[in-house]
Homo-oligomer: A and B are copies of this chain.
Amino acid sequence: MATLSDVARRAGVSPATASRVINGSSKPVTDELRERVLAAVAELQYVPNAHAQLLARSHRSAVGVIVHDVSDPYFAEITRGLQRVATDQGRLLMICNSYRDPDRELEYVELLRGHQVAALILAGSGYHDEAFTRQLNEKLAAYEATGGRVAVIGRHEHSGDAVMPDNRTGGYLAGRELCELGHLAIGVVAGPRILTTTTDRLAGLRQALGEQGRDLPERRIRYAEFDRDGGAEATARLLDADPELTAIVALNDSMAIGALATLRARSLPVPQRVSVIGFDDMPIARDVTPPLTTVRLPLVDMGVRAMSLVLGAETLSPRVEVLPAELVRRDTTGPAARPTSRPAPRARRADTAS
Could you tell me which A residues sit within 8 Å of B by CB distance? Answer: 1, 45, 47-55, 70-71, 73, 76-77, 79-80, 83, 94-95, 97, 110-111, 113-116, 138-139, 142, 146, 228, 257, 260-261, 264, 283-284, 286-290
Copies of the protein in its oligomer: 2
> CB-CB < 8 A to A257: which residues of B?
284, 287
Across the interface, do B114 and A49 meet the contact criterion of CB distance under 8 Å?
yes
Asked whether, in the complex, the Cβ of A116 is within 8 Å of the Cβ of B51, the reply is yes
A-B contact pairs, 22 of them (CB 8 A): A45-B138, A47-B110, A49-B114, A49-B116, A50-B114, A50-B115, A51-B51, A51-B54, A51-B116, A70-B70, A70-B76, A71-B76, A71-B79, A71-B80, A83-B97, A95-B95, A257-B284, A257-B287, A261-B287, A264-B289, A287-B288, A289-B289
Residues of chain B contacted by A289 (CB below 8 angstroms): 264, 288-290
Q: Is A115 a contact of B51 with CB atoms below 8 Å?
A: yes
List B contacts of A1 (CB < 8 A).
116, 146
Question: In the complex where A55-B55, A113-B47, A142-B45 touch, is A228 in contact with B71 (Cβ < 8 A)?
Answer: no
| A264 CB to nearest B CB, Å | 7
B261 touches A50 (CB 8 A): no
* A49 and B139 alpha carbons, distance in the complex (Å): 16
Q: How far is the CA of A55 from the CA of B146 in the complex (A)?
A: 22
Point out the residues of chain B lying under 8 angstroms from A71, CB to CB. 70-71, 73, 76-77, 79-80
- Which B residues lie within 8 Å of A111 (CB)? 50
Cα distance A229–B50 in the bound complex, in angstroms: 38
Task: For the complex, give the distance between the alpha carbons of A49 and B284 in Å.
Answer: 41
Chain B residue with the shortest CB-CB distance to A148:
B1
A286 surroundings in chain B (CB, below 8 A): 261
Report the nearest B residue to A261, measured CB to CB. B287
Chain B contacts of A138 at CB under 8 A?
Answer: 45
| B residues in contact with A80, CB < 8 Å | 71
Residues of B within 8 A of A94 (CB): 94
List the B residue with the shortest CB-CB distance to A1: B146
Considering the chains assembled together, what is the distance between the CA atoms of A45 and B139 in angstroms? 8
The residues of B that contact A228 with a CB separation of less than 8 Å are 283, 287
How far apart are A72's CB and chain B's nearest CB, in angstroms? 9
Q: A95-B95, A289-B290 are in contact. List 18 more A-B contacts (CB 8 A).
A: A1-B146, A45-B139, A45-B142, A47-B110, A50-B51, A50-B111, A50-B114, A51-B51, A51-B115, A52-B55, A53-B114, A94-B94, A228-B287, A261-B286, A261-B287, A264-B289, A287-B288, A289-B289
Query: Which one of A50, A146, A284 has the highest number of Cβ atoms from chain B below 10 Å of its Cβ?
Result: A50
Once the chains are docked, how many angstroms separate the CA of A110 from the CA of B289? 44
The residue in chain B whose Cβ has the minimal distance to the Cβ of A286 is B261
Find chain B residues with CB under 8 A from A114 CB: 47-50, 53
Q: 6 shortest A-B CB distances, which residue pairs?
A: A289-B289, A71-B76, A45-B142, A50-B114, A51-B51, A51-B54
Q: Once bound together, how far apart are the Cα atoms of A119 and B239, in whole Å?
A: 50
- A139 CA to B83 CA in the complex, in Å? 26
CB distance from A4 to the nearest CB of B (A): 12
Chain B residue numbers with a CB within 8 Å of A142 are 45
Shortest A144–chain B CB gap in Å is: 11
